[in-house]
Amino acid sequence: MAMDVIIYHNPECGTSRNALAMIRNAGIEPHVIEYLKTPPARALLVQLLDRAGLAPRELLREKGTPYAELGLDDPALEDAALLDAMEAHPVLINRPLVVTPLGVALCRPSERVLELLPNAQQGAFAKEDGEQVVDADGRRIG
């Protein structure tokens, strides 16, 4: 089955690398968008959030970002202000965000990507930390 899969990816992120590897372990070569180099336009970001069923605050990344310095922890901030911040500082967009014909999801933990893939895993898969996620028969563990 040919599938159009997109991953908004940060190669420096282990969770993102694991999700990408699981997509490939299903025999799918996705479109990889390094969103720090090519951030999604605001309209696309809003569409992705809507399709994923997420509010902008749920996509915000705190660790290793200017989240605190920008005062983004203020619960009074409206969605537009959070989107402004993500547009100005793409590092605030959490990852990996994966798009398939089956849906859109923030794949944290990385094995959440398995819910978006109709193709079975083609073999065993262990995350970078050694945690076994898929057995030798391609079945999810746990």
Instruction: List residues with catalytic annotation.
Output: 13
The amino acid at residue 76 is: A
Name the E strands within the chain.
6-9, 31-34, 97-100, 103-106, 125-126, 132-134
For residues 76 and 13, what is the distance between their CA atoms, to the nearest angstrom? 30
Does the CA dihedral 33-37-38-39 come out positive or negative? positive
**Mode of pairing for the β-strands spanning 31-34 and 6-9:** parallel
Nearest Cα neighbor of 133 from 9, 19, 2 is: 19
For residues 45 and 127, what is the distance between their CA atoms, to the nearest angstrom? 28
